[in-house]
A and B are shown apart, each in its own frame.
Chain A
Amino acid sequence: MTAPRWLITASPHLAAADSTPRIMWSVVASLVPIVAVATYFFGPSALLVIAAATLGAVLTERVFGRSGTLLDGSATITGLLLGLTLPAGLPLWMALVGGVFGIGFGKLVFGGLGQNIFNPALLGRAFLQAAFPVALTTWPTRTGEWWSLAGDNLAVPLMSGTVVDAMTGATPLGLMKFERQTTALADLALGSTGGSLGETGAIVILLCGMYLALRKHLNWRIPASILLTVAVLATPLHMVDATRYPGAAFMLLSGGLMLGAVYMATDMVTSPVTDAGCWVFGVGIGALVVIIRLWGGLAEGVMYAILLMNALVPFINRATQPRVFGSKRPAPGVT
């Protein structure tokens, strides 16, 4: 029997040009400049750490995910983003474990792409921070040659002890919090400070985010509301006590805020579906960041702020449904 001459498909017979893999891979492409900046400042260690995290994520997706899901690019994003949250001197095996955990327990146990509640990259990072608190907060300073490896990159898995003796330093946020020492804003904006790989170079991250927002691959309301909230809350506090509370510009440019606001909080799967919900979500993250940074025990709070708000997304979605055309109320939330 020959195939029928005429196909029958359902309407609509046209589709917008965007596809899920295209969105994912263009996010990957937009991360290239950020990885390049990290490599410029931290040397080949940056590339190795990011590669190890990505390898862990991709391998886990390949082995435990459904067939073909590697091609949608989402595991690659998780790996790259996780790598960017890590310090340059981290033992590579730890970065790999973080990638495995992020994809395995952050995404696949929920049922794969689209099903997870928490941002998988941040969950991987949270796991590493709980498991290896010292390694995660050891930031090598840039001494010696560019091409030399930083810190404990080549440490043997599960063996303690430092292989390479390296100079380490604190992050700008740590300096501020524990030693009341500020860092020049220009250094923060360009990225020539200590910190995790993606904590540096706020301007490049912002530019990459704008590109994604223009292509509608991220909802601009999320980074806008996060950054606005942080600035609005930091400014009056700074006016009250400038030595204890840093100003808005410092708050915005330091730590993981830019990477978190532009890339982590905007993960489509773990952020609200309504525009109003995106504002609520962003304001919540911004407020939590300020609270944790200024009054919490940690110097940095972006990761926990986003993970906490991730958990509230289903409720935000339900509370921000628009009013249905022709009726008085929004569609009731069915779950």
Chain B
Amino acid sequence: MPQPNSSFRHGVHPPELKKLTERVGIRRMPFPTEVVLPLSQHTGKPARLIAKVGDRVERGDKLAEADGFMSSPVHASAAGTITEIGLWPHPDGTFKTAVRIAVERHSPHALRPRIIPKWEGLTSRQLVAAVQDAGVVGLGGAAFPAHVKLSPPPDVTIDTLLVNGCECEPYLTTDHRTMVEYPERVQLGIRIMMRALGVSRAMIGIEQNKPDAVEALTRTLPADLDVAVHALRVQYPQGAEKMLITALTGREVPSGKLPMHVGVLVQNVASVGTIAEVFETGLPLVERIVTVTGPGVRKPSNLIVPVGTKLVDLLDACGGVTDDAREVILGGPMMGSAVADLNAPVLKGTTGVVVLTARDVKPPVSFPCIRCGHCVGACPVFLNPQLLGSLAQAGRYEDMVAAHLNDCMLCGCCSYVCPSNIPLAQQFRAAKVQLQRMKAA
């Protein structure tokens, strides 16, 4: 059994910066006048469009269906009329096909009445199909379709469900508030997932800096199931799948393999809560909780946001940005990416929006590597970022693969500790992209 203080080796300790929103209760954002829903919001194939311009849609109506197994449908997040289907700024910096809906005034939160299946009566396969139909993806950032994880291939046996409540990214409090305010929903989601997977054991991992979340989930633990809450050491990246598995079970996911190969499935608490909602209310994934925070936001908040809300509307709902705001980051500050166009919408996988002022933005000045070895001591997967960095600068991408570039998860620990401010994680990301291009060519 893991000790209460269990963790993984290496990693870093960035400032938590969660004070701004960790005690701010979740509130519901009013509907914006327009929502924009890209067909590609998840890992895998974009959804296939079934709606057309001019259609009047209700909240929860399907706009696009899953295109194959590695895909996930997209639903209307507000009632209104489709005004345009075309390219629209995507948070990843490109333009992607998206459905624009002019939202009706007084758009109802309620859905079109429909029959909600009782989950207790469903088989594992029916449960997974319902999860896919509701468009549930991982809400922790990567947006991996939930039903794919719930359908392990027949040669793989999963014995434990791990629920990820670490939220090790600084600033973000989405998962924290979810656990504090909706612990029963999280527990129901765990129950449903355990049934869908046929596992008898579940563990919830939460960093020790969230004692109220630990308390809430411990208080609501089911008496009839083997579910346990574990407080983990505060250490970045504790919430990285492989690190969490090691901390909770002592198992190590082999290089190039997935968590299921060591018999576990990891799901983020927000996703678990959403799965419960699907069966409680029939609500597909049309809204999510987003932390809007950072020194550049006037009123830092935890909001329930319709998927597809434009960032500009979301920031307005939080009092707008300060005059010296300079950078808007989607996700946490360690792994999140900056956006240039605030017309880009909130996606299913958007955990938070962090606005930094000019003072918080790192100066773009690098010094030569002094081989201090701080990066080597920080890398949670035991790579040599110093060596990888010099190979990247020399353009020796194949040699980087030999030096285990593919085991790098771009957590950013190396860049974070580098006293010479060398953008190591950025170089590794660029190398991965370049290698993919070379493979495609």
Contact = CB atoms under 8 A, between A and B. Distances in A.
A18 B328 CA distance: 25
Given A21-B367, A325-B407, A326-B253, A8 B391 contact: no
Contact of A326 (B339, B403, B407): B407
B198 interface: no
B369 interface: yes
- Is the interface on chain A under 10, 10 to 19, 20 to 34, or 35 or more residues? 35 or more
Contacts of A327: 254-255, 404, 407
B438 interface: no
Q: Is the interface of B mostly helix, strand, loop or mixed?
A: loop
Q: Is the interface of A mostly helix, strand, loop or mixed?
A: loop
A331 interface: yes
Contact of A323 (B362, B382, B419): B382
Contacts of A240: none
A216 B378 CA distance: 13
Given A6-B339, A11-B335, A331-B384, A19 B407 contact: no
A75 to B, nearest CB: 13
Contact of B376 (A4, A8, A10, A273): A273
A324 B419 contact: no
A334 B252 contact: no
A112 B370 CA distance: 10
A291 to B, nearest CB: 27
B367 A19 contact: yes
B376 to A, nearest CB: 5
Contacts, number: 172
Interface in A2-50: 4, 6-16, 18-23
B257 A326 contact: yes
A331 B47 CA distance: 39
B31 interface: no
A192 interface: no
A13 B356 contact: yes
A303 to B, nearest CB: 21
B362 A326 contact: no
B381 A115 contact: no
Q: Which of A12, A113, A271, A333 has the most CB of B within 10 A?
A: A12
A219 B373 contact: yes
Contacts of A4: 340
Nearest to B411: A12
- Is the interface on chain B under 10, 10 to 19, 20 to 34, or 35 or more residues? 35 or more
Contacts of B373: 219, 268, 272-275
B170 interface: yes
Contact of A324 (B381, B386, B418): B381
Contact of B337 (A11, A114, A216): A11
A194 B407 CA distance: 55
Given A9-B327, A10-B429, A272-B373, A321 B367 contact: no
A236 interface: no
Given A12-B415, A326-B253, 18 more contacts: A6-B326, A6-B327, A6-B339, A6-B340, A8-B93, A8-B338, A8-B339, A11-B329, A11-B410, A12-B412, A15-B415, A16-B12, A114-B420, A216-B374, A268-B370, A324-B255, A326-B256, A334-B391
13 contacts: A9-B338, A13-B361, A16-B14, A20-B370, A23-B419, A112-B368, A114-B369, A216-B374, A270-B371, A272-B373, A323-B382, A331-B384, A332-B402
Interface of B: 12, 14-15, 93, 170, 242, 252-257, 326-329, 333-340, 342, 354, 356, 360-362, 364, 367-374, 376-377, 380-384, 386-387, 391, 396, 399, 402-404, 407, 410, 412, 415-421, 423, 425-426, 429
